[in-house]
Amino acid sequence: ATEKQTMGFQAEVKQLLQLMIHSLYSNKEIFLRELVSNASDAADKLRFEAINNGSLFEDDPELKIKISFDKAARTITISDNGIGMNRDEAISHLGTIAKSGTKEFFSRLSGDQQKDAALIGQFGVGFYSGFIIADRITVETRRAGTPASEGVRWESEGAGDFSIEQITKPGRGTDIILHLREGEDEFLSAWQLKSIIRKYSDHISLPILMNKEEWDEEKKETVQKDELETVNQASALWTRSKSEVTPEQYEEFYKHVSHDFGAPLAYTHNRVEGRSEYTQLLYIPARAPFDLWDRNKRGGIKLYVKRVFIMDDAEQLMPVYLRFVKGVIDSADLPLNVSREILQESRDVRAIRDGSAKRVLSLLEELANSEDQAQKDKYTTFWTEFGQVLKEGIGEDATNKERIAKLLRFASTHNDSDVQNVSLADYVARMKEGQDKIYYVTAETWQAAKNSPHLEIFRKKGVEVLLLTDRVDEWMLSFLTEFEGKELASVAKGGLDLGQLENEAEKKQHEETQAEYKELVEKMKTALGDKAKEVRVTFRLTDSPACLVADENELSGNLVRMLKAAGQ
């Protein structure tokens, strides 16, 4: 179709646009970061496709981004010579939201502007952020490898629809032309644009070019020259040495790779040498994404080989239980034409994954064990957001199980709160004399756990019990049977053996009581028939008359409930 056509935005796009323009206005300069970030992604994609098809570079192999402005026309243009888009791509990429977590995002919107603004930030603003300062956006683009006549012009006022038409575009790539809203003229300034670029986009590895300016004596104003200058450092941030990168630059780079709006919680940047050579720059986000529990979700690691972007979401580079980690791994050993299939089998990849997992665990240990309260608080945040995912590591990563066990945090009877802040080491340090086990109870809620009749005897004896209420706990416990030589024991299983915690007098008394109630127990067994495997006199209760317990080797009551809920 060569004729101009008008199409409607997906309903979610309309909603997002509305919301964004209003709630992100106070942060409007981020539009430039988002558009530069897209231009950089487009260059990465071209470089990657060109590995197998060099002709995509046409006669223009130097990838770059150019930013210009026109005071008279009141426009800002962001141009790249990256991969570009064909008609169908422009329609789907700029007219719909294909992000994971979209449904979740829209379901959480509350109508409260401040809360929603924070949510949008977390969801990612992207291309549409241009509409914060523009009342019309024109996109002229041509996909690499297609003829000049197959260019596309996409245009929208950011309300309900956009138009699309075919144009001739000699240069490959994309020009984004922002027609500024009334009152946004402050952005029509080289100084202003440069300072935004330096603030948000300095880490971009492509050169970002702008026209030089000079003072014109006659006109008594600065005029733009044809000559261009590079306004960023234009070297891949992870290749720079740590001392050359500021915390702000690390933070902006995080926003670029993660599409997150907020700052990361922590990061680690290392060059690894030896049998396998690679650079890793890994970030722990401050907040869980909308799709943390999506089983099909891929990881957040971008793979580069010798600085050439290879793929997003290279899930083989990080174990599944660390899927929340974002960042870049740049390998010096892998071939450029590496595919997901090859990644699955490569020994180099396994070495990178093992090394990366260890790095992330070290970073978490640093936070958890820090003397500095601010760092400790970061660990608390981490645990709240990602603790349940980390628990998967107990079952998944046998090599690092002990390290992960030390990072676990639980609610316990030691605190009268559902906050998970007790480590197994804390527990062990508080164990009573003669106590040789770490006791826990599992339940669906903290309330239920805390009020479990199984806890009565422990309260009486002053023995701490961990209160486990996360869905993954039962599964995790099947892998975590001991910690530093102390067995983990459910208070709800089998004949409760308090070992040295019981004194001789108590034991004797128990035996007498058991003899006394023998007849009653027999009667109850007969009455219950098949419904109960056994009936026992118990000493674990102090207030409740009776409780259910599972056999030593059987599934606990809570797990049975969970499996039933899951339809098993």
- Residues near 119 by Cβ (< 8 Å), separated by ≥ 6? 105, 108, 109
* Contact with ligand ADP (CB under 6 A) among 101, 121, 126, 319: 126
Q: Going residue by residue from 173 to 212, which x/- string records binding to ligand ADP, judged by CB under 6 A?
A: -x--------------------------------------
Q: What residue ranges in 143-196 does DSSP mark as E strands?
A: 151-156, 161-167, 173-180
Cα separation, 201 vs 39, in Å, equals: 11
Judged by beta carbon, residue 124 or residue 207, the one nearer ligand ADP is 124
232 binds ligand ADP (CB under 6 A): no
Residues numbered 107 to 146 that lie near Mg ion (CB under 5 A) are 126
Judged by beta carbon, residue 126 or residue 299, the one nearer Mg ion is 126
Q: Which residue is it, tokens 């007219």?
A: 95
Residue nearest to ligand ADP (CB): 126
Cα separation, 290 vs 100, in Å, equals: 8
Residue 122 is labelled as binding a ligand: yes
Q: Cβ of residue 13: shortest distance to Mg ion, in angstroms? A: 14
Q: For helices 347-369 and 373-396, give the axis angle rounded to 10 degrees.
A: 140
Tokens of 36: 């530069």
Judged by beta carbon, residue 251 or residue 366, the one nearer ligand ADP is 251
124 binds ligand ADP (CB under 6 A): yes
Find residue 178's DSSP bridge partners: 76, 137
Q: Cβ of residue 259: shortest distance to Mg ion, in angstroms? A: 6
Distances (CA, A) of 288 to 252, 323, 362: 18, 11, 20
Q: Cβ of residue 477: shortest distance to ligand ADP, in angstroms? A: 39
Tokens of 316: 């083989």
Contact status, residue 188 vs residue 34, Cβ threshold 8 Å: no
Q: Give the chain's radius of gyration (CA, Å).
A: 30
Residues numbered 497 to 556 that lie near ligand ADP (CB under 6 A) are none
Stretch of 2-10, 39-47, 227-235, 399-407 lying at the interface with ligand ADP (CB under 6 A): 39-47
Residue 101 is labelled as binding a ligand: yes
Residues numbered 89 to 118 that lie near ligand ADP (CB under 6 A) are 93-94
If binding means CB under 6 A, how many residues of this protein chain bind ligand ADP?
17
38 binds ligand ADP (CB under 6 A): yes
* Contact with ligand ADP (CB under 6 A) among 127, 446, 475, 517: 127
Residue 340 is labelled as binding a ligand: yes
- Residues near 81 by Cβ (< 8 Å), separated by ≥ 6? 43, 46, 60, 62, 63, 64, 171, 172, 173
Residue 398 CB burial class (10 angstroms; 0-12, 13-18, ≥19): exposed
Cα separation, 458 vs 467, in Å, equals: 13
Q: What sign has the CA pseudo-torsion 99, 100, 103, 109?
A: negative
121 binds ligand ADP (CB under 6 A): no
Q: Cβ of residue 35: shortest distance to Mg ion, in angstroms? A: 8
Binding partner of 85, given ligand ADP, Mg ion, none, CB within 5-8 angstroms per partner class: ligand ADP
Binding partner of 352, given ligand ADP, Mg ion, none, CB within 5-8 angstroms per partner class: none
**To the nearest 5 percent, what fractions of the chain are helix, strand and coil?**
40, 20, 35
Judged by beta carbon, residue 65 or residue 349, the one nearer Mg ion is 65
Contact status, residue 180 vs residue 75, Cβ threshold 8 Å: yes
Least Cα distance to 450 among 498, 499, 491 occurs for 491
Tokens of 351: 């070495």
Tokens of 553: 């080797």
Contact status, residue 395 vs residue 479, Cβ threshold 8 Å: yes
Residue 347 is labelled as binding a ligand: no
Residue 126 is labelled as binding a ligand: yes
* Contact with ligand ADP (CB under 6 A) among 64, 66, 259, 302: 259
Residue 85 is labelled as binding a ligand: yes
Residue 333 is labelled as binding a ligand: no
Q: Going residue by residue from 13 to 42, which x/- string records binding to Mg ion, judged by CB under 5 A?
A: -------------------------x----
Tokens of 29: 């300069």
Residue 233 is labelled as binding a ligand: no
Residues numbered 70 to 89 that lie near ligand ADP (CB under 6 A) are 80, 82-85
Residue 151 is labelled as binding a ligand: no
Rounded to 5 degrees, φ, ψ at 6 are -110, 135
Judged by beta carbon, residue 33 or residue 391, the one nearer Mg ion is 33
Residue 419 CB burial class (10 angstroms; 0-12, 13-18, ≥19): middle
Q: Cβ of residue 38: shortest distance to ligand ADP, in angstroms? A: 3
Cα separation, 81 vs 174, in Å, equals: 6
**Binding positions:** 34, 38, 80, 85, 99-101, 122-127, 174, 340
Residues making contact with ligand ADP (CB under 6 A): 34, 38-39, 41-42, 80, 82-85, 93-94, 124, 126-127, 174, 259
Annotation: binding site for ATP: 34, 38, 80, 85, 99-101, 122-127, 174, 340
Q: Given the rule CB under 5 A, which residues bind Mg ion? A: 38, 126
